[in-house]
Chain A
Amino acid sequence: MFRRLKELKKNILESQVWRSMFRHDYADTPRNRTLQIMSNVWMHLHPPKIRRHAIRIRFTWCMGGITFLLFLVLTVTGVVLMFYYRPVAEYAYADMKYLQFDVPFGMLVRNMHRWAAHGMVLSVWLHMFRVFMTGSYKSPREFNWVIGVILLTLTLLLSFTGYLLPWDQLSIWAVTVGTNMARATPLLGHEGPFAQVAGVTPRYDARAFLLGGTIVGPPTLLRFYVLHCIFLPILASLLMIVHFWRIRKDGGISGPL
């Protein structure tokens, strides 16, 4: 039992997946203790120096940097909007209109949030395209590519959850259509494959989990608001820290071959 566990541990630790994530082992040696501190994420958010090719706009398009800038814009304008917006069915739409017409600079802040959101979706796609076309996803950067794919998904989810918050016809129907796709989730959706095996019903499935009920209603608005303002941004921020740190630890921005 013990030996088999050790073998399993050895196989996991020596697999490519594990080694792409963790670059040194955890044995309690002076060298590893030093490495743990020296490669610490908090010490590598900002590089002391970068290579000349890393700032060549024709190679990087600066798409990752623009994406991060837009994320910062979205965070700041989003927090400002939170001073007026209430995620309650009776108030949400009126608060959005109030921001637009009666709050000084409200229209500016709302539109900055809106256009930065559109821009961020565009720039992450272009960033991914650039990384793919320059082959920058290859070893040792394969783990960072995976982080990037998760970040892309989080960006789309942030965009999707934010879309409901104006609480107008467009957003309600867009979210109705979007969350109806969750019906078809294998095992977790009541119209998906193996739904009977898992015993899910329209009342208790992945879609009801997202909506807080069986229709897009007030609980959905509150749920999407919490996801949009708390859960997804924190998750994205954590992964962004790892993403930037990984760039540095994998030898900086990849260069032209």
Chain B
Amino acid sequence: MGIDIAKVGAEPEEERDATTWSRRDFLSLAAWGGVLAFLSTVTVAFMRFMFPRVLFEPTPRFNAGRPDTFQPGTVDTRFIQSHRTWIVRYEDGSFFAMLAICTHLGCTPNWIPADRKYKCPCHGSGYYMDGFNYEGPAPRPMDRVKIALSPEGDLLVDRSILYSMKPGGDPDEQYPDSLLRA
């Protein structure tokens, strides 16, 4: 190597002013900046690419039918398969709709009528009829969703309106709005 190619055309090191950039520095930084800008743009675009505008998932709203088909003091499991939601009716006739999603890690608990409790098959969390967690690893009561009467008198459930329960509190007192008085 007779001539060091890297040094050809570059200014001598000691003559370079601390505040000026040589043409080589400028072009080098510009090129790397361009590469970085391209890569970061592509990364952001890819992140957006992974979130489609439309999801093909079950609709959050459904019609649960006439209120008089639900017996007071029971938990109705008709809409578990299709919408993963219990329609619960207290003895006093009021309704609420609760998501069948365990607050521990998201499995579907089962309503066990003989024990009057919901029991999660994954890690054994247990809940009372109102959704309050009393055993197992679940950290808080199960979440409820909006239930209302349509003008025709049908029960309408909207899973997109969520009553997210905090740990420890009585679910009925945390969200009185989640109850539908009939």
Contacts and interface: CB of A to CB of B under 8 A. Distances in A.
A209 interface: yes
Interface in A177-222: 177, 180-181, 203-204, 208-209, 212-215, 217-219
A173 B21 contact: no
Given A1-B19, A3-B18, A204-B51, A217 B4 contact: no
Nearest to A27: B6
Contact of A2 (B1, B18, B52, B106): B18
Interface in B78-102: none
B57 interface: yes
Contacts of A1: 19
Given A2-B18, A213-B57, A215-B57, A177 B106 contact: yes
A208 B107 contact: no
Nearest to B55: A213
B21 A2 contact: yes
B31 interface: no
Contact of B1 (A3, A30, A212, A219): A30
Interface string A166-184: 0000000100110011000
Nearest to A223: B50
B161 interface: no
Most buried by A among B5, B20, B52: B52
Nearest to A177: B105
A176 B107 contact: yes
Contacts of A209: 47, 50-51
A239 B155 CA distance: 57
B122 interface: yes
B21 A177 contact: no
Given A204-B51, A209-B50, A212-B52, A180 B106 contact: yes
Interface in B23-77: 25, 47, 50-52, 55-57
A28 interface: yes
Given A28-B6, A214-B57, A173 B107 contact: yes
Given A173-B122, A176-B107, A177-B105, A212 B57 contact: no
A230 B51 CA distance: 20
Interface string A24-65: 000010100000000000000000000000000000000000
A217 B56 CA distance: 9
A176 B47 CA distance: 22
Contacts of A219: 52, 55
Contact of A208 (B25, B51, B56, B105): B51
A177 B107 contact: yes
Contacts of A2: 18-21, 25
Contacts of B25: 2
B122 to A, nearest CB: 7
A209 B51 CA distance: 7
Interface in B98-119: 105-107
Nearest to B123: A177
A218 B19 CA distance: 58
B2 to A, nearest CB: 12
Contacts of A180: 105-106
Contacts of A212: 50, 52
B142 to A, nearest CB: 14
A215 B56 CA distance: 10
Contacts of B20: 2
Contacts of A204: 51
Interface of B: 1, 4-6, 18-21, 25, 47, 50-52, 55-57, 105-107, 122
9 nearest A-B residue pairs (beta carbon) = A180-B106, A177-B105, A28-B6, A213-B55, A180-B105, A3-B18, A176-B106, A209-B50, A213-B57
Interface of A: 1-3, 28, 30, 173, 176-177, 180-181, 203-204, 208-209, 212-215, 217-219
17 contacts: A1-B19, A2-B21, A3-B18, A28-B4, A28-B5, A177-B106, A177-B107, A180-B105, A203-B51, A203-B55, A204-B51, A209-B51, A212-B50, A213-B57, A215-B57, A217-B57, A219-B52
